[in-house]
A and B are shown apart, each in its own frame.
Chain A
Amino acid sequence: GQNIDQPTEMTATEGAIVQINCTYQTSGFNGLFWYQQHAGEAPTFLSYNVLDGLEEKGRFSSFLSRSKGYSYLLLKELQMKDSASYLCAVKKDGANNLFFGTGTRLTVIP
């Protein structure tokens, strides 16, 4: 199977920066996705990494190191609306679906 690990919960202050880590162990790695999910709602796509390095998209950035089986999602200038769960998901060669971690619930406090 796939071992995908994320911290269960994190708390950060409005205006600050937070880094959410994800580690994975899988054969045939073919990309890593980050999704945001507000309580009771659908996950929405944030970012995709398949090569090593940093992908920046506005206040959100995502980093991947394939040799270390490691990714992080960086959120800058935190806003209250960023309080949500952040899901790390891995795509494998030959598999049609994504394999999800349990998600990290982020709480942004004033």
Chain B
Amino acid sequence: DGGITQSPKYLFRKEGQNVTLSCEQNLNHDAMYWYRQDPGQGLRLIYYSQIVNDFQKGDIAEGYSVSREKKESFPLTVTSAQKNPTAFYLCASSRPGLQETQYFGPGTRLLVL
């Protein structure tokens, strides 16, 4: 079945540590996105990529980095510069077109130890 997978489901980060969240899709979608979800707030865009080897900062990119070496994969690294990383991280993908619906992965919950 086609879909988007994210791993791990839960991730614990120690102070000063970088951690990487995985996102893989087999929907053959060109565009991929990373959102952060905090209680009481809407989803906020961290980074997005419209095509392989290209990505753009979203509204809250500071303290995060991404890569897009393959169409299927868009990993997100939460660096030690991100001072408040505890959140639910959602990856999404879409196919360019008139509607361009975004489909989401199951999410990774990041907690700081």
Contact = CB atoms under 8 A, between A and B. Distances in A.
B101 A48 contact: yes
Nearest to A6: B42
A44 interface: yes
Contact of B42 (A4, A40, A41, A91): A4
A89 B109 CA distance: 22
- Chain A interface residue number, banded: 20 to 34
Contacts of A31: 99
B33 interface: yes
Given A40-B107, A97-B48, A97-B58, A45 B42 contact: no
Q: State the majority secondary structure of interface residues on A.
A: strand
A88 B91 CA distance: 18
A4 B107 CA distance: 23
Interface in B31-88: 31, 33, 35, 40-45, 48, 50, 56, 58, 88
A96 B102 CA distance: 10
Contacts, number: 51
A42 B108 CA distance: 10
Nearest to B104: A42
B90 interface: yes
Interface in A63-94: 87, 89, 91
Interface of B: 31, 33, 35, 40-45, 48, 50, 56, 58, 88, 90, 98-107, 109
17 contacts: A33-B101, A40-B88, A43-B43, A48-B99, A50-B98, A87-B43, A89-B43, A96-B50, A97-B45, A99-B42, A100-B35, A100-B42, A100-B43, A100-B44, A101-B42, A102-B40, A103-B42
